[in-house]
Structure 1
């Protein structure tokens, strides 16, 4: 296979080395090493290594490719490629979405003079970025070391390349200088407003450096201004963005500000790369001391830039990538609030563990009553919309009451604790055993908290449902739930029926509920909803200013929990009815409600069911709980990791430590330690 690649590479170089347009040469070279499957990393690396070995061994062909690469860089406009590729567009999410969709319907006309469009000729497949990403950074750096184009450029071509880099640097600098006018940025923290002049100063310093750089290239002398002052300003701006992000976690943020923060951070990083590239190149051109080091640093910076820009350019018209990026920005807006909520669901101490038990048992009692109300509401002869509305109110108001009483529904935990675990995974440093041990401690704490919540819910909901049925029968002399309804409730627990898909739907709703909780927590902080509620004139007249302020404070602290729980109840209550309306097998199975329904079904049959039937229903109940938790947790963890940009690569080591903990202290996964944990 490698020999075939070498043959094709030699033929491509010999065919196109003397062409007037250098683009066909590089299109043929990368076509020769492109793997048949974009996800075949081994074939991609092997083909790339074959190209590098050929260039290293054949001086004549290497010289021909270098000359064509120099012509390519000198014959295309590079400003857009350097300043925009790999950076969020300024048009916003929906405008960019419309552009991508319109491109699918009616492709744009390429501009042969733009490097961005030229790259789409070389990497013309939509999934080329996959195998390009598999090429190690040291291999691509070797490519640029072998083909360093400046050595083959004429003075006019060097001047053109230098001017393109300078223009791209100035475009980025003036774009960054406009960031400080963002009103939301100033609203985050008053202290931040005093330092926003650093963003304005970037443009002025970049202009001075570019002028000095151009003068140095013309005269062949060292530049009068070096890049150090500009890099200091860039570092100050990056520090401010970090402070703004921390402030956004406290005071909330908008999607527009999240977008702007991310785009400005990307622009600052790209500007730093271009500045370092320009500085090292200016010293190299001037022939000063350290020119060899400057040339090496320039190649490293150029390699870093092109790797990121090539991948982004190949994905520029990808609808999937754009939607994924938008979802990541939205996730970044809400996950920090959910992570803080998730910390309350982790029991580290024995008292906290028993509090979790009590709160879960209290929630189980309310759930048994809610399940009964839903059974009674099902007897009403009203329109389907009426059933959907009543069910939604039963679930939604019931969940809101459970939240207000500080009780715990087991299935609400995973969507929150996943955010906390994602934060720990993002903080873990490669090779640090103490960080992995901390993650194991967190997983053990989450496990015992979840078990306590599940068992607490079920242990009360099921027997209380039986007790309510017996009290009803004793008082009224008839069964509270008819046998037909009991048979239907048992059928809903059949593991071979629709139990698993319906439990998965409930898990998806749990995931959405976690997102909604974080969204409304962020909304309350950013829009200061609580303070605005406290200033309502009618509320002040009715309850007085002090009570209105207390109501506003409660809304400020609990809007996310109230909204998330209520909307989760609405999703659960309306799912089955919507399934009937659309003729689709859509419904939900929730472990706590299903356990209460099992109790009502047992009482409906006067406890005369065969043991196998009861055990079969209990198995269905267990599967519902597993699917509820697995789906909601996995979705929430996936979203949190994407939002934080975490790529955890120590899974094997973490699993090994988990196995060791399970063997050494299995009790820690189901019960809290007797002693207080060390700080």
Structure 2
């Protein structure tokens, strides 16, 4: 009852000022409908139904609100509402970022003569779109039908709205033609130049249609063509957009191309809506589409300065391609049979051997007491060049796997969710990832430790040189203590670096394909003469296949090497802990102290190494899987069932999570374990 009284008060205020063009009355009505909490959807739904009932029962309320709404609409410029609201503007992503950031700090001027700005005054709460979208379309239609526009004589206002829609259709059509001629779009779909472009012909057909429409508005007895020909051409435009998106799966994509695709799709969808509104007498879906359009406008107004929405909208295709390239790399990290499992073990052992030397080189570099930035550069080059050498020798760092295999698991989840298949294939994939990850870690650690021991003992007893001092040894042991140091947070930072390295790797793989870097390199005359045609061709092919991995390893090394210095400069406790390097450091510390360590320190350090490794893997895998799932716009399906099946598989055959079977498992592709 109290809600009805509030609604009646708002309606009575509109009755008293129905000739006023101020949005105050409508803002008061929306305030009466707005729930106290956006999650109270039932309250908002009941309020709208109460409004529909009041309008249906009271002719004065109905007439006043109808007249007031028509006055608000007809007295304002409508064009920008149809052509700009909820549509990306003709600017780059970074220009849009700067503009939105500026509007957050200093809101744009309110222009009362624009209908688009009216939404900002009426729906002035930033979360209004949540309850507006949550209310069923049928309830909003009840309110619209209760207004009963057939009762009044609004021919003049309807004609003005139709003319605004005609102008909006023209503007949208011109923009579609312009976007369709963008060089980047033509480059990715050359057939546009060979055949008659639907982006141009739709404009020709639309002009003819709109001329006939305006002529009929002036003289209703005249006949005109419908919009079917225009809609066919718009469908052809949509088909080209889909083809470009499919082409990008193997030819790469850029942020600017994604921006063009999003803008083009938005304009095509909006033009269809405008045509439906113009043909409302012949379209049964017009009221429903009008309601959806209304919801889009409210959300667009509430979120017009959202930076998160801007990047989420314009980087989805790029993120998908980056994770796709990472996923294809991740296939090399999944051993489906015993032969591949053993090959992964050998590959990991090779990496562990090299890390033993890298850990010592870092210790020696730290002894030099270089200036902070010089030291960061030296550490970074040690890591970067070492990781790149590991890749070039086809060895494997175990912690690089999660960021790559997460995309493969996300692809499997997507296939399962689309096909509705059982989760057996996904369970087998996770099982294969687990045992491959296990053998890679064991290969790294079990070789890094004896390599470090052998180096340290050789230096100590062969060359009579202490690789590290006693103080440094105790410092290394303290860094491994998970209870009295920041070992675990530092391991989490390393996990974030691993995740970023995976994204960088996918980004450069995408960049190599999209920018056709190998083909452009082949055009260079100097290296062709220097190396010879055949050898330079092999180098370019290697770059094409390995640019992403090399770049990922290079930047990963920079992140690891400079993190401690960055923390020093900022006065923050920033550093990294990596399981393979930590295990090597444990060996160097043990030799420096002549293995005279209490069992408590042995136990604490061993537990520290284990927890560092688990943190490295958990953080990098969790972040990578989250991005891969979001880029595909999917969610985990039936998590409980998946966990239950994994647990059942673990109880039934626990060895399969650690040792690969001899037979080939068809759940995962047959690839050699290369980085």
Task: Give the alignment's TM-score, normalised by structure 2.
Answer: 0.90
Residue-by-residue CA offset, 1:310-348 (whole Å, 9 max, x unaligned): 212211123444355455465356333223323332333
Q: 1:644 to 1:70 in 2, by over 3 A?
A: farther
Residue-by-residue CA offset, 1:366-392 (whole Å, 9 max, x unaligned): 112211111111111432222111111
Match of residue 8 from structure 2:
10
- Name the SS for the 1:434 alignment partner: coil
Residue-by-residue CA offset, 1:527-583 (whole Å, 9 max, x unaligned): 222223333333223221211121111112211111111111011111112222333
Residue-by-residue CA offset, 1:92-120 (whole Å, 9 max, x unaligned): 22222232233344332211122221000
Indicate if the aligned counterparts of 1:45 and 1:134 stay in contact, CA closer than 8 A. Answer: no
Match of residue 286 from structure 1:
none
- Name the SS for the 1:160 alignment partner: helix
Given the alignment of the two structures, is residue 331 of structure 1 paired with residue 329 of structure 2, yes or no? no
- Name the SS for the 2:367 alignment partner: coil
Please show how residues 285-304 of structure 1 align to structure 2 within 5 Å. 294-295=283-284, 297-304=285-292
Indicate if the aligned counterparts of 2:44 and 2:131 stay in contact, CA closer than 8 A. Answer: no
Given the alignment of the two structures, is residue 351 of structure 1 paired with residue 339 of structure 2, yes or no? yes
| d(CA) in 2 for partners of 1:340, 1:282 | 52
Given the alignment of the two structures, is residue 546 of structure 1 paired with residue 537 of structure 2, yes or no? no
- Name the SS for the 1:615 alignment partner: helix
- Name the SS for the 1:406 alignment partner: coil
| d(CA) in 2 for partners of 1:471, 1:521 | 42
| d(CA) in 1 for partners of 2:405, 2:425 | 15
Q: 1:120 to 1:610 in 2, by over 3 A?
A: same
| d(CA) in 2 for partners of 1:379, 1:567 | 24
Given the alignment of the two structures, is residue 54 of structure 1 paired with residue 51 of structure 2, yes or no? yes
Given the alignment of the two structures, is residue 556 of structure 1 paired with residue 532 of structure 2, yes or no? no
Task: Name the stretch that deviates more: 157-166 or 468-477.
Answer: 468-477
| d(CA) in 2 for partners of 1:150, 1:558 | 68
Please report how far the alpha carbon of residue 472 of structure 1 lies from its aligned counterpart in structure 2 after TM superposition: 2.8
Q: 1:321 to 1:244 in 2, by over 3 A?
A: closer
Match of residue 77 from structure 1:
77
Indicate if the aligned counterparts of 2:253 and 2:318 stay in contact, CA closer than 8 A. Answer: no
- Name the SS for the 2:91 alignment partner: coil
* Aligned partner (choices 450, 466, 469) of residue 463 of structure 1: 450
| d(CA) in 2 for partners of 1:136, 1:36 | 18
Match of residue 95 from structure 2:
95
* Aligned partner (choices 438, 458, 463) of residue 451 of structure 1: 438
Indicate if the aligned counterparts of 2:258 and 2:314 stay in contact, CA closer than 8 A. Answer: no
Indicate if the aligned counterparts of 2:172 and 2:271 stay in contact, CA closer than 8 A. Answer: yes
Please report how far the alpha carbon of residue 10 of structure 1 lies from its aligned counterpart in structure 2 after TM superposition: 2.3
Indicate if the aligned counterparts of 2:55 and 2:147 stay in contact, CA closer than 8 A. Answer: no
Please report how far the alpha carbon of residue 661 of structure 1 lies from its aligned counterpart in structure 2 after TM superposition: 4.7
Q: 1:516 to 1:18 in 2, by over 3 A?
A: same
Task: Name the stretch that deviates more: 158-167 or 667-676.
Answer: 667-676
| d(CA) in 2 for partners of 1:584, 1:26 | 52
Please report how far the alpha carbon of residue 463 of structure 1 lies from its aligned counterpart in structure 2 after TM superposition: 2.8
Residue-by-residue CA offset, 1:389-426 (whole Å, 9 max, x unaligned): 11111100011111112222122222222333333444
Please report how far the alpha carbon of residue 139 of structure 1 lies from its aligned counterpart in structure 2 after TM superposition: 4.0
Given the alignment of the two structures, is residue 315 of structure 1 paired with residue 303 of structure 2, yes or no? yes
Match of residue 209 from structure 1:
209
Indicate if the aligned counterparts of 2:86 and 2:300 stay in contact, CA closer than 8 A. Answer: yes
**Root mean square deviation of aligned Cα:** 2.8
Indicate if the aligned counterparts of 2:387 and 2:557 stay in contact, CA closer than 8 A. Answer: yes
| d(CA) in 2 for partners of 1:194, 1:70 | 48
Q: 1:24 to 1:381 in 2, by over 3 A?
A: closer
Indicate if the aligned counterparts of 1:524 and 1:559 stay in contact, CA closer than 8 A. Answer: yes
| d(CA) in 2 for partners of 1:661, 1:168 | 60
| d(CA) in 1 for partners of 2:169, 2:92 | 22
Please show how residues 579-658 of structure 1 align to structure 2 within 5 Å. 579-646=567-634, 650-651=638-639, 654-655=642-643, 657-658=645-646
Give aligned pairs, total: 661
Q: 1:109 to 1:384 in 2, by over 3 A?
A: closer
Residue-by-residue CA offset, 1:145-169 (whole Å, 9 max, x unaligned): 5446566561111112222222222
| d(CA) in 2 for partners of 1:261, 1:223 | 37
| d(CA) in 2 for partners of 1:523, 1:477 | 51
Query: Which fold has the larger relative contact order, with Cα–Cα distance below 8 Å and residues 6 or more apart in sequence?
Result: 2
Given the alignment of the two structures, is residue 475 of structure 1 paired with residue 455 of structure 2, yes or no? no
Match of residue 417 from structure 1:
405
Q: 1:480 to 1:252 in 2, by over 3 A?
A: same
Runs (5+) with no aligned partner, structure 1: 284-293
Q: 1:150 to 1:49 in 2, by over 3 A?
A: same
Q: 1:363 to 1:12 in 2, by over 3 A?
A: same
Indicate if the aligned counterparts of 2:41 and 2:135 stay in contact, CA closer than 8 A. Answer: yes
Please show how residues 393-542 of structure 1 align to structure 2 within 5 Å. 393-429=381-417, 433-434=420-421, 436-496=423-483, 497-542=485-530
Indicate if the aligned counterparts of 1:334 and 1:518 stay in contact, CA closer than 8 A. Answer: yes
| d(CA) in 1 for partners of 2:364, 2:541 | 37
Q: 1:542 to 1:630 in 2, by over 3 A?
A: same
| d(CA) in 2 for partners of 1:474, 1:115 | 85
Match of residue 245 from structure 1:
245
Indicate if the aligned counterparts of 1:78 and 1:114 stay in contact, CA closer than 8 A. Answer: yes
Match of residue 670 from structure 2:
none
Match of residue 127 from structure 1:
127
| d(CA) in 1 for partners of 2:246, 2:637 | 26
Indicate if the aligned counterparts of 1:505 and 1:588 stay in contact, CA closer than 8 A. Answer: yes
- Name the SS for the 1:378 alignment partner: helix
Q: 1:115 to 1:415 in 2, by over 3 A?
A: farther
Please report how far the alpha carbon of residue 363 of structure 1 lies from its aligned counterpart in structure 2 after TM superposition: 1.4
Match of residue 227 from structure 1:
227
Q: 1:649 to 1:76 in 2, by over 3 A?
A: farther
Task: Give the alignment's TM-score, normalised by structure 1.
Answer: 0.89
| d(CA) in 1 for partners of 2:278, 2:100 | 33
Runs (5+) with no aligned partner, structure 2: 668-675
Indicate if the aligned counterparts of 1:180 and 1:196 stay in contact, CA closer than 8 A. Answer: no
Indicate if the aligned counterparts of 1:56 and 1:62 stay in contact, CA closer than 8 A. Answer: no
| d(CA) in 2 for partners of 1:278, 1:428 | 42
| d(CA) in 2 for partners of 1:674, 1:137 | 57
Residue-by-residue CA offset, 1:129-184 (whole Å, 9 max, x unaligned): 34334434454454445446566561111112222222222222221111232222
Please report how far the alpha carbon of residue 673 of structure 1 lies from its aligned counterpart in structure 2 after TM superposition: 4.3
Task: Name the stretch that deviates more: 257-266 or 601-610.
Answer: 601-610
Q: 1:265 to 1:325 in 2, by over 3 A?
A: closer
Q: 1:191 to 1:578 in 2, by over 3 A?
A: same
Please report how far the alpha carbon of residue 441 of structure 1 lies from its aligned counterpart in structure 2 after TM superposition: 3.7
